[in-house]
Structure formats: structure tokens, C-alpha cells
Amino acid sequence: MQTLEVISVNLWQMAVSLANLVLLFLIIKKFLYKPVKKMLESRQSSIDSEYSAAAEAKEQALSSKVAYEEKLSKAKEEADEVIKSAVNTANERESEIIAQAKKKADGIIRQAQTDAALELKKAEDSIKKEIVEVSSLLTEKMLQREVSLEDHQQFIDSFIEGIGDENDAD
């Protein structure tokens, strides 16, 4: 039979192995675990700060977008108001121009009517003078006598009145 030395428990060797394990654990903790933990914490804080910066940038972008949309809507409203104002001004100006044109046209028509009436009156007066001259010549020749100035004037006046009555009848 073989001895049991292979399976035997050596307390001294176990204590040294355990001390070796603890010492290795402390060395790893001091030189490796703490720096790695510090690096991970700094990395985590860096990531957190980047996330918060990104969130702030997103909020700023959203607020800028809202402000831009408000300004754009205000600009559209102002443009609409300017267009309405321009249309109203143009309509008012159009009305003024039309009114002025109507006044001018009425004035021209009145002037033309007045001128036509004056020309008609002149023509009537001219025709009456010619008729008076012709009638006096005819009368002198027909009567072949000397007519007094009063007779002559009465004859002309009655003839002119007769002509005026015929024109009124027309």
C-alpha cells in the first residue's frame, strides 16, 4: 500500500498559499483595480457629461426651432399685412384716379356742351343777321320805294320774331 502523503494536508503550505493569494489580491487591488476603477469612473463621468451636453444641445436646438418657427410665422403675418395694406392703398388710389377721371370727363363734357351751345348761338345770330340783310334788300327791291327807318325796323323785328317762332316749333 502506498502512503497517503499525496493526499495529506500541509497546513504550512496552505497558509503560505493563502498568504500568497491575499498578498497578490492586495497588490492587484492597489496597482490594478483602483486605477482601472478610477479610469472607469472618469470614463463614466465623461460619458455622462457628454450625454448631458447632448441633451442640452438638443433642448437648445428645439427651442431655437420653436423660436425660428415663431419668427417665420410672424414674418409671414407681417408680409400678409404688408400685402393687404398695399392692396388697400392701390384700391384707394384706383378709386381716387377713377373719381378724378370722371370729374375731368364731366368737365370736358360740360365744356363741350357749353362750347356747342355758344357755337349754336353764334350760328343762329349769324344766320339772323344774314336773313335781316337779305330781307331788307328784298324788301327795298320789292317796295321800290323809300321806307322810313321806323317802318324798316318794325318789319325786321316782326320777321325775326317769325323766324324765332319757326325755330322753336322745330
pLDDT of 164 strictly over 80: no
pTM of full prediction above 0.85: no
Give the residue extent of every domain in the chain. Answer: 16-169
Is the four-CA dihedral 110, 111, 115, 121 of positive or negative sign?
A: positive
One-letter amino acid at 132 equals V
Cβ neighbours of 156 (radius 10 Å): 17
pLDDT band, very low/low/confident/very high, at 1 (cuts 50, 70, 90): very low
Task: Find out whether 106 and 141 touch, Cβ atoms under 8 Å.
Answer: no
d(CA 137, CA 148): 14
pLDDT digits (tens, 9 = 90+) for 6-59: 667 778 888 999 999 999 999 988 888 888 889 999 999 999 999 999 999 999
Indicate the range of 37-41, 99-103, 152-156, 164-168 predicted with least confidence: 164-168
One-letter amino acid at 111 equals Q
DSSP string of the chain? ---TTTT---HHHHHHHHHHHHHHHHHHIIIIIHHHHHHHHHHHHHHHHHHHHHHHHHHHHHHHHHHHHHHHHHHHHHHHHHHHHHHHHHHHHHHHHHHHHHHHHHHHHHHHHHHHHHHHHHHHHHHHHHHHHHHHHHHHHHH-S---HHHHHHHHHHHHHHHHHHHHH-
pLDDT band, very low/low/confident/very high, at 103 (cuts 50, 70, 90): very high
